[in-house]
Amino acid sequence: MHRSLYPLTAASLALGLLAGAPSAHAQSAILNLPRVSQHALVSQRVGITDITIDYHRPLVDGRQVFGGLQAWGQVWRAGANENTVIRFGDPVTVDGHALPAGAYGLHMIPGKTSWIVIFSKNSTSWGSFTYTEAEDALRVTVEPRASPHQEALTYEFDQPTPTSAIVTLRWAEIAVPFTINVDTPAIVERSLRDQLRARAQFEWQPWMEAADYLLANGRSAEEAANDAKQSIAVEDRFENEITLSRALTKLGRADEARAARTRALGMASQAQVHTFARTLQGQGLKSEALDLFRENIKKDPASWTAHNEAARLAAAAGDFATAVKEMKLALQLSPQPLRDQHADLVRRLEKRDDINR
């Protein structure tokens, strides 16, 4: 007589579920009921890369966890119920080891002095019961640390930076950290090509912002120059001409860089020239900045900007009496948000402090 592989009736299934689970914490593999180890999802963006951990949070509940509930040296699901899953939106490194973008089952092997953190290509299992080392994408060895008591297992992203974050598992009295690094500039550079094929391509700002990012992060100056030119093609402005000048300077094309800068300054407002000259001072190009101040004053000698620049020229010449007088005029004429800044400059000049440094 043929027997069904699945002979359970609804009644016998219900009986089995009731017999196998304490009534105070009823759980089901089929129904959506509250679980003792509750579901959690944590995420951190590093640069433009999203990292997400999807896990369940077992409780200590008065038990000895490591070396008791979880034996030393045995593979553990690093959570409860289904696989703990970690997802990377882009390629990363884990403690210096490369790992492609994607979803991974996160397992760990606890040890008294060191732990093994495992990233498995299988992220869809229940716990570690079917785990096999053949499916490992990466293993790293890390050092556990003592930690204040943590009743419910938790994952946290510590010390985030534009290119890294430390993922830390905390449970009972143990913390287990591992470091995720992301090559943010390279990822952004690749992403920009796709972003600039969308609606952004029809506006001047995104092309210029892309060029500025590439220059600021030491990426392709040639690509930055091309992006700046595309921005100019959409709308020729002071901002994108200056960006083009910077890119051409990095490429060693000095004559073209000077031409772009001349075009930029020719269409700039007095405030834009002032900001650019102050940038030059920050780069140590004091003489060039002072020359721009002299020319910029002529645009509107009665403005707060002109008096500010006259004060800077006087201070550079060591004439602090004139510098104080001019900066007080700038203080009187400046917009309210700049008043405190100008008042501070007056105080510095009264102490014969060269504000051009």
pLDDT reading at 30 higher than 80: no
Give the full edge-to-edge strand order of the sheet including 92-94: 97-99, 92-94, 164-181, 145-158
> End of a domain among 125, 154, 182?
182
Count the Cβ atoms, other than its own, within 10 Å of residue 18. Answer: 11
Closest by alpha carbon to 119, among 92, 159, 146, 144?
Answer: 92
Domain count, the chain: 2
Q: Looking at the domain assignment, is residue 239 inside a domain?
A: yes
Query: What digits encode the pLDDT tens for the residues 81-127?
Result: 889 999 999 999 999 999 999 999 999 999 999 999 999 999 999 88
Report the CATH number that the domain containing residue 247 is assigned in CATH.
Answer: 1.25.40.10
pLDDT reading at 11 higher than 80: no
Cross-strand bridge partners of residue 191:
none
The pLDDT value recorded for residue 28 is: 65
> End of a domain among 128, 153, 182?
182
Q: Looking at the domain assignment, is residue 195 inside a domain?
A: yes
* CB contact set of 327 (below 8 Å; sequence gap of 6+): 307, 308, 311, 342, 345, 346, 349
Domain ranges, residue 258: 183-268
| CA dist., res. 230 & res. 246, Å (int) | 15
The pLDDT value recorded for residue 23 is: 39
> What band does 178 get if pLDDT is binned at 50, 70 and 90?
very high
Q: Looking at the domain assignment, is residue 198 inside a domain?
A: yes
Query: What digits encode the pLDDT tens for the residues 200-248?
Result: 999 999 999 999 999 999 999 999 999 999 999 999 999 999 999 999 9
- Co-location of 150 and 196 in the same domain: no
- Co-location of 208 and 108 in the same domain: no
| CA dist., res. 36 & res. 356, Å (int) | 64
pLDDT reading at 53 higher than 70: yes
Q: Looking at the domain assignment, is residue 353 inside a domain?
A: no
- Co-location of 98 and 221 in the same domain: no
pLDDT reading at 25 higher than 60: no
Give percent above pLDDT 70 in the chain.
92
| CA dist., res. 282 & res. 286, Å (int) | 8
pLDDT reading at 296 higher than 90: yes
- Co-location of 54 and 187 in the same domain: no
Four-point Cα dihedral 230, 235, 238, 241, nearest 10: 20
Report which DSSP code applies to 63.
-
